[in-house]
Amino acid sequence: MSIFSSVIFQSDGGNCYFFDHKINQWQFIHPILFHILELHLQGTDVTAWVKELQTDPIEIKGLGSFSRGRIEYYYRKFLLLQQGNYFRRISQEDIFQTDLKDEEIERMLANISQITFEVTEACQLKCMYCGYGTLYDNYEPRKNKPLCPQTAKNVIDYFSRFLNSPKNKSRDKSVYIGFYGGEPLLCFPFVEEIVSYIKEKTFLNNRFKFAITTNGLLIEKYMDFLVENNFNMLISLDGDEDGNSYRTFANGSPSFQQVLGNVQALRTRYPEYFEKYVNFNAVLHNRNSFPGVYRFFRDKFGKFPSIGSLNTLGIKDSQRENFVKAAPVPSRKENSGEEFAKIEKDMFLNLPTNNALTTFLHHSGQLAVKKYNDLVFPDIQAKKLPSGTCFPFSKKVFVTANGKILPCERIGHDFPLGTADSENVHLDVHSINQFYSMQYKKIYRQCLQCYGVGLCVQCIFYLNLKEDNPRCSEFKNAEDFSNSIKSYIDLLEKDPWKYAKLLKETIVED
C-alpha cells in the first residue's frame, strides 16, 4: 500500500503551495509547477504531457496563460525536486517502525523533566465538568485517597538513580516536581515533606523546581511556604462570578468569592512573586467566553490566562447531551472586530488557534530540527512511530494517588506503565516497550493511509485502546489534509505578523 507524500493546495489569496510529509516541508510554488504537480498526483504522465503540448502560449485553466519555454522550465524544476525525493509515492516501510528500543526508554528516564504527583483524590469542589466527575467514566472510583509520602519518595529515589547516572545528558536542566490533585493543598504536610526530601537529596546534574495546580481555596493559608519555595502556581479559575459558576462546592454553592479573596491576598502580600510565578487556567464553556475571560484577568490581575477546553476523553454515553450543552457556543462576533484583534495580540500563544499554528510550524520542518545534524543533513530516511503520542517519559511522569505510573495527567488511568508503593517502584522498561508496540500496531494500518502523518499530534491514549482496531477521528485523506494545511497558510497570509511573533516568542524546550 502506498500513498503520495505530497498534497497541493491554493490559499484563499490564490497562492499555490505544496506540502510534502516525507520531507516535512511546505513551499510556496509557481502556478505552473502547481499544475504539473496536480497532473502528477492525478496519475498523468507529466513527461508525455509536456511533449504533447500543442500551442504556445498555453492556457492553464484557472491559473493563466504561459509560454512553452516557461512550462518546460518548471517541468525541469519538477524533475529536479523529484530527484531530491519530493513528490514520491511512499510505502509503509518507508515511514513507520512500531518497536521502541529499551535503551531509548532508559535514556528518557534519565532525562526526565517533570515528576508530578496526584497528592490526593480529594477536592473541596465538585465542578460540573471535572474529569473525575459525573460526565466521565474512564477513571477509577474516587475515594478521596491521599498518596502515601513514602510511595512518592520511592518514585523520587527511583528517578534520582537514573538522573544521577551517566545516561543523563541534560546537565543543569531543571526538573519540576509537580503537585496535582484533587486539591493538593488539602494534603499540605505531604507537600512540605516532599519539598524537604528533595532539598535534602543530592542530585549531580539537575536543579529542582516546584509546581502546583490548585483550585485556589487554600492559597492564603499556605502562601508563605509556597512563596518561600518559589512554587510555579497554576490557579484554576474560569473568569468572573458567572463564568466561574460551574466551579462549585458539593452542595452547589459557588467558590468564586473565596478564591478571589485568596488570590487578592496573595497578590497584596507578595506582589513580585505573584507577577513572576502565578498563572491562571480557565476552561471555556457555555457560561463564559473568550472576551469575558480575557477582560476579567486583565482588569483584575493584569494577567492573561491559558485557556483549556472541556475534556472530550471518556465521556459517559448517558452524559453526551449534557456535555454538548456545556460546550462553548462559538460566536462570530466574538472572533472579529477591534477588541478581538487586541485579545489576539495580548493572549497570542494562549489562544488555541495560535497554539495549533505553532504546532503546525514546529512540525512542518523548516523552523525546528530535532538534532543539530539535521540542520545540515536532514535524515529523511528516519522512521517514526505511528501517531503523535509522546515517547514514554519524554515529557513527564504522573503518579496517581493509587500509585499508578502514567505518562501524563491528561489521560485515563486504564493503562498504567507501572506502579509504585511504599515498598518500591515497579517499572519494567521492556514491558513498557511491548505495551507501546502493541498499541502502535493497532493504529498502524490507519496511519499508513493517512496524509496527516507528518503533522500528527494524535495521542494514542485518546483512542479506544480496549478495541483491537480503534478508530482515529483525526485520520485525514489527501483532501482533508490539504484543507487543514490550507487553513494554517490562510491564517499566515491574512496576518503575516503572526509568523514573526511566533518565531520570536515560541520557546522550544529540549
Q: Is 453 in the site for ligand SF4 (CB under 6 A)?
A: yes
Q: Select the residue interacting with ligand SF4 from 148, 408, 478, 492 (CB under 6 A).
A: 408
- The C-alpha atoms of residue 232 and residue 254 are separated, in whole angstroms, by 26
284, 290 contact by CB (below 8 A): yes
Taking the complex as a whole, the smallest distance from the CB of residue 458 to ligand SF4 amounts, in Å, to 4
Site residues (CB under 6 A) for ligand SF4, limited to 372-391: 386-390
- The C-alpha atoms of residue 485 and residue 364 are separated, in whole angstroms, by 10
Q: Select the residue interacting with ligand SF4 from 100, 450, 489, 491 (CB under 6 A).
A: 450
Piece of the chain touching ligand SF4 by CB under 6 A; list 9-17, 39-47, 351-359, 471-479: 471-479
Residue with cell 463564559: 288
Q: Is 475 in the site for ligand SF4 (CB under 6 A)?
A: yes
Taking the complex as a whole, the smallest distance from the CB of residue 397 to ligand SF4 amounts, in Å, to 10
Q: Select the residue interacting with ligand SF4 from 6, 458, 482, 484 (CB under 6 A).
A: 458
Q: Is 461 in the site for ligand SF4 (CB under 6 A)?
A: yes
Taking the complex as a whole, the smallest distance from the CB of residue 391 to ligand SF4 amounts, in Å, to 8
Listed residue (477, 475, 406) closest to 435, CA to CA: 406
Listed residue (423, 15, 19, 123) closest to 5, CA to CA: 19
φ/ψ of residue 119, rounded to 5: -60, -40
Q: Is 452 in the site for ligand SF4 (CB under 6 A)?
A: yes
Piece of the chain touching ligand SF4 by CB under 6 A; list 75-83, 270-278, 447-455, 487-495: 447-455
Q: Select the residue interacting with ligand SF4 from 46, 110, 397, 472 (CB under 6 A).
A: 472
- Residue 315 burial (CB < 10 Å; 0-12/13-18/19+)? middle
- The C-alpha atoms of residue 292 and residue 488 are separated, in whole angstroms, by 26
Q: Select the residue interacting with ligand SF4 from 184, 407, 416, 418 (CB under 6 A).
A: 407
- The C-alpha atoms of residue 127 and residue 247 are separated, in whole angstroms, by 4
Taking the complex as a whole, the smallest distance from the CB of residue 443 to ligand SF4 amounts, in Å, to 5
281, 232 contact by CB (below 8 A): no
Q: Is 446 in the site for ligand SF4 (CB under 6 A)?
A: yes
- Extract the runs of DSSP E, i.e. beta strands, from 328-456: 397-399, 404-406, 418-420, 425-427
Taking the complex as a whole, the smallest distance from the CB of residue 473 to ligand SF4 amounts, in Å, to 8
Q: Select the residue interacting with ligand SF4 from 459, 465, 478, 492 (CB under 6 A).
A: 459
